[in-house]
Amino acid sequence: MIGIEGQPVLTAAEMRAAEDAVIATGVSVDTLMERAGTAIAEAVRRLAGPNEVLILCGPGNNGGDGYVAARVLMEMGVAVRVAALSEPKTDAAKSARAGWLGPVDTLAGAKPAPILVDALFGTGLTRPLDASTTSTPNRSPADAGAQLNPEGLPSGLSWAPASAGERSVVECLHFLANAAQLSIAVDLPSGLATDTGEALSTPPVFDLTLALGAVKPAHLLQPAARFCGQIRLLDIGVLTASQAEVLKAPSLPAPGPDSHKYTRGMVAIIAGTMSGAADLAALAAMHAGAGYVTLLGDSQGPPHALVRSPFSDHALTNDRIGALVIGPGLGRDDTAKARLDAALTSGHPLIIDGDALRLLDPNRIKALKVPVILTPHAGEFDALFGKSDADKITRARDAATRANAVVVFKGADTVIAAPDGRVRIAQGASDWLSTAGTGDVLAGTIGAMLAAKLDPIDAACAGVWLHGDAAHRLGAAFIADDLAESLRSARAAP
């Protein structure tokens, strides 16, 4: 099992193409299935210990992987049972089923086991489970779906008295997963859309997901990611490459003997009507490693290392400014617009956040001749680029092209996109980041990275990673001031 930091992220079509490239060299689908099933079995054996394993197999190749895993586990001496939704439908899955010599229970009649492996449906699912196939022919998908509680058993479900004909696929999955000590999904928890991160059906929350061959968007995009638990990659001998990758820890050099405040980078932050937001951005830039931070506008109080000056056009002529942050607490009045105009014509690399994003359009940003990083949350993104039903990766990539800027599309599943098509997707942000001011902290953090002369997408990635790491270090119930302080520890980490 491999950690996913820095790994390529492939859509369902890209994964099929990668597999087809291997098949074109003479490797059969059966061989790929054998590799996948063996890798699953080895991972499950390490985790299961002496406990019995129940593997749920679907009708496609994901189910075929499950049959292979069951056979290999049995050969390893692990107690394993199989339950199937239906007979296999693909040739490779039929062959894998033939290799399993043990009994096969029905999904609705399966008894729980300490270790559950979901190999029902993986990459490529396009319909809700109960709309595509069901063990409840006399029950509508709406009836089954309306009772589901994503945190546990479907609400109101009394499992023991129910007959097999009254249990839907989703209900079976919830019951068996919640009865298990450890639940493992093969490639994806059943019911998730691979490319968009949509939950087509509501699966249980799994402890672990074993990604086959490559990370998929649904492992990272919400709401799907919340059902995956920990994600580990299994190598199945397929070469993968993509412009989209999982965000990884940055390699940031520490100051040396010849360093001084300007070589570490000077960040200027323009304050507005809510000066506290600019203060947070400034504090973050300082703790993220900037050598000199100046706040232009009305502000007062500590830290005393922060240089405060009245805003003026002349203050922006300082050629030592390595990054200019505008937007946190800026406001949207005439003064805010004038300050934004001055920032856009200053000639400095820009981080544009908050209110400033509401005062711009993509064409105006695209006309700028300096590096630009935009940091919108969902509402600001919609206001700047328009609403869309496309997935978050596609939207971020298109926005970066339209604005010719790096776009940090913030959220629980932050996506960072560059105009050249490169995309980085952050893992599991702390839910406690949902508090006022944390976006201001991110803007200042990215400002410190850009002032240190990192490439704009590298600066954005480093800022997002430090911001997320600082949040995880704090645990629960922190405020934005704590987050800015915590950047010091994140920045000092090896």
pLDDT beyond 80 at 409: yes
pLDDT beyond 70 at 162: no
Q: What is the pLDDT of residue 299?
A: 80
Confidence of residue 166 (pLDDT cuts 50, 70, 90): low
pLDDT in tens, 376-386: 999 999 999 99
For the chain, the residue count is: 494
Helix (H, G, I), strand (E, B) or coil at 33: helix
- Helices (DSSP H) in 100-240: which residue ranges? 129-132, 141-146, 169-179
Confidence of residue 423 (pLDDT cuts 50, 70, 90): very high
221's tokens: 């995009």
Question: What is the rounded average pLDDT of the residues 251-259?
Answer: 93
Confidence of residue 163 (pLDDT cuts 50, 70, 90): very low
pLDDT beyond 50 at 233: yes
Confidence of residue 190 (pLDDT cuts 50, 70, 90): very high
Q: What is the pLDDT of residue 127?
A: 84
DSSP for 347-385 reads -S-EEE-HHHHHT--HHHHHT-SS-EEE---HHHHHHHH
Confidence of residue 253 (pLDDT cuts 50, 70, 90): confident
58's tokens: 């679907």
pLDDT in tens, 4-54: 999 999 999 999 999 999 999 999 999 999 999 999 999 999 999 999 999
Question: What is the rounded average pLDDT of the residues 254-266?
Answer: 95
pLDDT in tens, 118-145: 999 988 888 888 644 433 333 333 333 3
pLDDT beyond 70 at 80: yes
Question: What is the rounded average pLDDT of the residues 272-276?
Answer: 94
Q: What is the pLDDT of residue 145?
A: 33
Listed residue (208, 416, 446, 173) closest to 328, CA to CA: 446
Query: Which helix (H) or strand (E) is 34 found in, with range?
Result: helix 29-48
pLDDT beyond 50 at 153: no
Confidence of residue 482 (pLDDT cuts 50, 70, 90): very high
Confidence of residue 394 (pLDDT cuts 50, 70, 90): very high
What percentage of the chain has pLDDT greater than the value 90?
A: 88
130 near 108, Cβ under 8 Å? no
199's tokens: 């939950």
What Rg do the C-alpha atoms of the chain give, in angstroms? 26
What does pLDDT average to over the chain?
92
Q: Burial, 53: exposed, middle or buried (Cβ in 10 Å; 0-12, 13-18, 19+)? A: buried
In the chain, % helix, strand, coil (3-state, to 5) comes to 40, 15, 45
Listed residue (261, 253, 310) closest to 286, CA to CA: 261
pLDDT beyond 60 at 358: yes
Q: What is the pLDDT of residue 160?
A: 43
Kind of pairing between the strands at 292-296 and 307-309? parallel
The residue among 161 and 6 whose pLDDT is bigger is 6
Angular region, 386: left φ>0, alpha ψ -120 to 50, beta rest: left
